[in-house]
C-alpha cells in the first residue's frame, strides 16, 4: 500500500489546475478572436464604420 503524501497530492492538484487553466485560457482566446474576426468581416461586408457596429440602432 502506498504512503499518503500531502506534498505529492498538492503537486498533482497544482498540475491539474494549471492544465485546466491553460485550456480555459485557450478557449476564451478563441471566442474573443472569433468575435473580433466576425466584427471585422461584418465591417467589410456591409461597409460599416467601426463606431456604427457598436452603437445601438435608433429608429
| pLDDT (tens digit per residue) in 5-32 | 899 999 999 999 999 999 999 999 999 9
43, 51 contact by CB (below 8 A): no
Cβ atoms of residues 28 and 35 within 8 Å: no
Q: What pLDDT is recorded for position 43? A: 85
How would you label 38-47 residue by residue, b for 16+ Cβ within 10 Å and e otherwise?
eeeeeeeeee
pTM of the model: 0.66
Asked whether the predicted pLDDT for residue 59 surpasses 80, the reply is: no
Amino acid at each position: 500500500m502506498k504512503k499518503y503524501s500531502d506534498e505529492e497530492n498538492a503537486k498533482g492538484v497544482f498540475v491539474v489546475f494549471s492544465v485546466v487553466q491553460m485550456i480555459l485560457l485557450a478557449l476564451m482566446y478563441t471566442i474573443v478572436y472569433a468575435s473580433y474576426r466576425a466584427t471585422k468581416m461584418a465591417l467589410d461586408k456591409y461597409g460599416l464604420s467601426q463606431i456604427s457596429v457598436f452603437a445601438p440602432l435608433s429608429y
